[in-house]
Amino acid sequence: MTTSGRFSPIPEIPLPYNGSAPSHRVVTLVYDRLWPLEFGIAAEIFGWKRPELDVDWYDFRVAAPRGANRAMGGFSISSQHGLEITQSADTIIIPGWRDVDDTPPDDMLSALTAAHARDARLVSYCTGAFVLAHAGLLNGRQATTHWNHLPRMKQQFPDIDLTEDVLYVDNGSIITSAGSSAAIDASLHVIRQDYGSGIANKVARSLVAPPHRDGGQSQYVEAPVQERPGKSIASVLDTAREQLDRPLTITCLADLAGMSERTFLRRFREGTGTTPLKWLRRERVFRAMNLLETTRLDIADIALQSGFASIETFRTAFRQIAGTSPHAYRKRFEAVDS
């Protein structure tokens, strides 16, 4: 890929995808009047070679229509590949679409329809969901987009089951995400699916991004994590993560923050977009994921170390958040030497 701006060429790897993770091919669409931030997120997360992870990383390609593709900001992006590269893609990323009132070209819609028919994974960032909507791929499905464009999508595509105020929605083969920062969350979710939570956390750390913002978290947080007299909400979260195996009540967390329960609940929601109990439940499942990947502890011990009172409660919470059972998750992401 070459550009007339600051993006450096990303090396092409001429290896076909053979059904295994090492050569999983990610293709990102480029088009005229592209929003460069979201394209950059895809290129950095999936295109940057990461030898420190000691895994065979994604084979990243760019699909650009022939001719000039002007990006917002005064530069152009070109690629040696056109839409034909989508035929061998395992994951296709659609960055934010240039105009929610502009119908995407037929060849782009046809390429996405064909990719979906052969079970390629489609991931939209922000208003990229409108491209999937125009292709008819979101009809009857749950989906989301940037909160500012939800009314327009609801009006334009009434057959879509719009999920408002979430970071992303995973329908299996189709993932739609909210605004630009949520594109990072959705991308880390993809990595977590493919490589497990340990690798996803390392990538998040390299991006200086939160490793675990669940898709159901609010996409619009009323205020940043707040500093108040006593301990901040952020420091309370850090302390809670270190003690997930212990009973953690709202009273306990409010005391750590130096606030009344009522004030703590209000400021917790302002700062995180969720409630303490929902946040704790997700964090405990994330710890369980890591233990399933990196230890041989039995399920009962993992439930206990993750702070669940019973194995039944653990299994229910794990399935709701991870979308599968603890046993199936461990089988998929076995990371411990035999």
Q: What is the pLDDT of residue 105?
A: 93
Q: What is the pLDDT of residue 5?
A: 32
- Token pair listed for 313: 């409660």
Predicted TM-score (pTM) of this structure: 0.71
Encode burial over 232-242: b for 16+ CB neighbours within 10 A, e otherwise: bbeebbeebee
The whole-angstrom separation of Cα 178 and Cα 163 is 10
Torsion from C-alpha of 216, 220, 224, 229, nearest 10 degrees: -80
Q: Are 144 and 163 in contact (CB under 8 A)?
A: yes
Q: What is the pLDDT of residue 336?
A: 38
Q: Are 225 and 232 in contact (CB under 8 A)?
A: yes
Token pair 């992870």 in the structure block, residue: 53
- Token pair listed for 288: 């369980």
> In Å, how far from its chain's centre is CA 78?
26
Q: Where are the beta strands (DSSP E) in the chain?
A: 2-3, 25-29, 59-63, 70-71, 75-78, 91-94, 121-124, 142-143, 161-162, 168-170, 174-177
168: closest CA among 131, 122, 206, 204? 122
182: closest CA among 193, 171, 167? 167
Q: What is the pLDDT of residue 164?
A: 84
Q: Are 180 and 41 in contact (CB under 8 A)?
A: yes
**Looking at residue 128, what DSSP letter applies?**
G
Residues in the chain: 338
302: closest CA among 280, 321, 287, 319? 287
Pairing of strands 70-71, 75-78: antiparallel
**Mean pLDDT across the chain, nearest whole number?**
83
CB-facing half-sphere around the CA of 253: CA atoms within 13 A:
30
Q: What is the pLDDT of residue 269?
A: 85
The percentage of the chain sitting over the pLDDT mark of 70, rounded to a whole number, equals: 85
Positive or negative torsion for Cα 114, 115, 116, 122:
negative
> In Å, how far from its chain's centre is CA 49?
19
216-234 pLDDT, tens per residue?
454 444 444 444 444 567 7
Specify the 3-state DSSP secondary structure of 25. strand
> In Å, how far from its chain's centre is CA 265?
27
Specify the 3-state DSSP secondary structure of 174. strand
**pLDDT by residue, tens only, the chain of 338 residues:** 433 332 222 333 333 333 344 479 999 999 988 888 999 999 999 999 898 998 889 999 999 877 667 788 778 787 889 999 999 999 999 999 999 999 999 999 999 999 999 999 999 999 999 999 999 999 999 999 998 999 999 999 999 999 887 889 999 899 999 988 889 999 999 998 898 888 988 898 888 776 556 554 544 444 444 444 445 677 888 899 899 999 999 999 999 889 999 999 988 888 777 889 989 998 999 899 889 988 899 999 999 999 999 999 999 999 888 878 999 888 877 643 33
Q: What is the pLDDT of residue 321?
A: 83
